[in-house]
């Protein structure tokens, strides 16, 4: 009898579901975008019910599209947008507030106060993270401080906190399981990545009751079982990881020194650093890559807040394109960007700047600047930001000869070519760029016994395409110098 895996890939702008065979083949894919709520400048929210309902809808859609019997699905793997924060009523499942998205900068002032108090080392030593609104901790505190009655209810044990994985697992199991995995926990700024426990000192500082927090479990293994009513069969949830760690796993970066970059809404570069955490000196984050059979692997991570999202901005706000696929042809219609640089710091800048006060900017405009130049500059900005992260990683670890890539924007050959040029190193793109969902499927397959080892997974991983650099060193340096100048003028824009 054939065995199948259902991967749930809950992202920032859409929910997706994919069916994989035991040979790792993608058999079906269903996707649905949902509303982005921009409350005011720098504030980003989602309706938690939109997240759950869209994810359930596409999961059912993928099963229907595949034509398989739900009873033949051996396991579900969950992967998700990380750091996004949801608090809900333990009894009713009703959210007390919208989900505060990882991009949201509303707690920038709170973070600045912690920094002024000299708490950077306190947080980084325990969590591997910098103090930034990006992470879940200050979002939780904001909800408890600003939603009427929330803190009192939380102290009474009536409320639960979770990142999106916890929210999905809780709903899928009919409220029976409140859990998260090591990777998602490591992104909350409340989890000690050395002791592998929620940190009592951090919780005390923030005033967050421990009873709200989910149980932390392995990324691979039985986490819970879905309610039969959702899919017509009870299905075990056997895999869970935050989207970037899932992509690292999906790219088979199983060995120390392996690197991948995901071009999604944001851009995220991770290096497997093995069994020991590596403390960055260059603005990178130390995080958990995965936990399997109680054994932890660590990673260094660089975070670009706006990557593919700049293309959505071109489409939805500027109306310069109708579809993301157009951007490649438009970018190639001009020889270069005409000196135009776009710094898409819509919600501040991440690695290596960590400046929540930076804002988006366009530099180098002349009367001759056209739509094509701006579109091209937006695509180039994705690559420049990635190059900044690579430089930081090279300072902390070693220079990189190749980078494995995935995510929606990696399908754009122009971006891949320019990325190889601006880095001066080869880019490896797998035939299947669904690395995030693939990683969730691999973790679930390991957890339910479809595969028994990393070697089993390596045997079913597919082919790839390589992009090699062709740009001369002098031109690369000149372009990078222009980008650096543009970034410096975008920093600290907001007081």
Encode the chain (495 residues) as per-residue pLDDT tens digits.
679 999 999 999 899 999 999 888 899 999 999 989 998 888 999 999 999 999 999 999 999 999 999 999 999 999 999 999 999 999 999 999 999 999 899 999 999 999 999 999 999 999 999 898 989 999 999 999 999 999 999 999 999 999 999 999 999 999 999 999 999 999 999 999 999 999 999 999 999 999 999 999 999 999 999 999 999 999 999 999 999 999 999 989 998 888 899 898 889 899 898 898 988 888 888 999 999 998 999 999 998 989 999 999 999 999 999 999 999 999 999 999 999 999 999 989 988 998 988 999 999 999 999 999 999 999 999 999 999 998 888 888 766 667 899 888 899 999 999 999 999 988 999 887 788 999 999 999 999 999 999 989 988 877 789 999 999 999 999 999 999 999 999 999 987
CA distance 308 to 407: 9
pLDDT at 399: 60
Q: Cis before residue 222, ω within 30 degrees of 0? A: no
CA distance 429 to 251: 10
Q: CB under 8 Å to 448, separation ≥6 — which residues?
A: 5, 74, 75, 222, 236, 238
SS3 state at 199? coil
Give yes or no for a contact between 467 and 426, defined as CB atoms under 8 angstroms apart: yes
Encoded tokens for 107: 């707690």
Residue 79's closest CA among 57, 59, 95, 109? 59
Ramachandran angles phi, psi of 330, nearest 5°: -65, -45
CA distance 144 to 114: 18
pLDDT at 291: 95
Q: Which is it for the CA torsion 295, 170, 267, 459, positive or negative?
A: positive
Q: What is the CA radius of gyration of the chain?
A: 22
In 90-182, where do the E strands start and end?
99-100, 159-162, 179-181
CA distance 456 to 473: 41
SS3 state at 404? strand
Residue 388's closest CA among 351, 363, 415, 339? 351
Q: Which is it for the CA torsion 414, 415, 417, 421, positive or negative?
A: positive
CB atoms near residue 286 (< 10 Å): 22
Give me the residues paired with residue 161 across strands: 87
SS3 state at 91? coil
pLDDT at 403: 86
Give yes or no for a contact between 104 and 46, defined as CB atoms under 8 angstroms apart: no
What letter does residue 348 receive in the DSSP assignment?
B
Ramachandran angles phi, psi of 84, nearest 5°: -60, 135
418-to-54, 91, 348, 376 alpha-carbon distances in Å: 35, 52, 24, 10
CA distance 455 to 332: 41
Q: By CB neighbour count within 10 A (0-12 exposed, 13-18 middle, 19+ buried), where does 391 fall?
A: middle
């Amino acid at each position: 009898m054939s065995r199948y895996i259902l991967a749930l890939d809950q992202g920032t702008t859409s929910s997706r579901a994919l069916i994989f065979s035991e040979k790792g083949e993608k058999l079906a894919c269903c996707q649905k975008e949902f509303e982005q709520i921009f409350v005011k400048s720098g504030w980003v929210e989602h309706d938690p019910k939109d997240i759950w309902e869209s994810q359930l809808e596409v999961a059912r859609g993928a099963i229907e599209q595949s034509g398989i019997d739900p009873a033949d699905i051996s396991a579900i793997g969950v992967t998700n947008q990380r750091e996004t924060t949801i608090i809900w009523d333990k009894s009713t499942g009703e959210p007390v507030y919208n989900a505060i998205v990882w991009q949201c900068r509303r707690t920038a002032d709170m973070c600045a106060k912690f920094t002024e108090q000299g708490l950077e080392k306190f947080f980084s030593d325990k969590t591997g993270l910098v103090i930034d609104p990006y992470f879940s901790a200050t979002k939780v505190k904001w909800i408890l401080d600003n939603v009427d009655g929330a803190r009192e209810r939380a102290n009474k044990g009536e409320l639960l906190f979770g990142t999106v994985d916890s929210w999905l697992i809780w709903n899928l199991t009919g409220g029976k399981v409140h859990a998260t995995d090591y990777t998602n926990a490591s992104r909350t700024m409340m989890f000690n990545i050395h002791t592998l426990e929620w940190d009592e000192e951090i919780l005390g500082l923030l005033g967050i009751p421990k009873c709200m927090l989910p149980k932390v479990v392995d990324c691979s293994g039985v986490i819970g079982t879905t309610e039969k009513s959702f899919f017509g069969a009870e299905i075990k949830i056997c895999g869970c990881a935050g989207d970037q760690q899932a992509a690292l796993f999906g790219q088979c970066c199983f060995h120390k020194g392996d690197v991948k970059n995901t071009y999604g809404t944001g851009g995220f570069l991770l290096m497997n650093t093995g069994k020991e955490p590596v403390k960055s000196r260059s603005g990178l984050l130390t995080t958990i890559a995965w936990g399997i059979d109680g054994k932890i692997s660590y990673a260094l991570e660089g975070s670009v807040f706006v990557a593919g999202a700049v293309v959505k901005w071109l489409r939805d706000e500027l109306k310069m394109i109708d579809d993301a696929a157009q951007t490649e042809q438009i970018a190639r219609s001009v020889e270069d960007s005409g000196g135009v640089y776009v710094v898409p710091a819509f919600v501040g800048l991440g690695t290596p700047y960590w400046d929540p006060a930076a804002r988006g900017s366009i530099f180098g405009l002349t009367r001759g600047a056209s739509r094509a130049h701006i579109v091209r500059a937006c695509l180039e900005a994705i690559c420049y930001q990635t190059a900044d992260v690579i430089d930081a990683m090279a300072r902390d670890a070693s220079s990189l000869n190749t980078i494995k890539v995935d995510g929606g924007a990696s399908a754009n050959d122009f971006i891949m070519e320019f990325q190889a040029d601006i880095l001066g190193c080869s880019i490896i793109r797998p035939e299947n760029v669904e690395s995030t969902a693939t990683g969730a499927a691999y973790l679930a397959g390991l957890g339910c016994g479809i595969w028994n080892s990393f070697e089993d997974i390596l045997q079913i991983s597919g082919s790839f395409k390589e992009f090699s650099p062709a740009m001369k060193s002098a031109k690369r340096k000149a372009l990078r110098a222009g980008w650096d100048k543009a970034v410096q003028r975008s920093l600290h824009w907001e007081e």
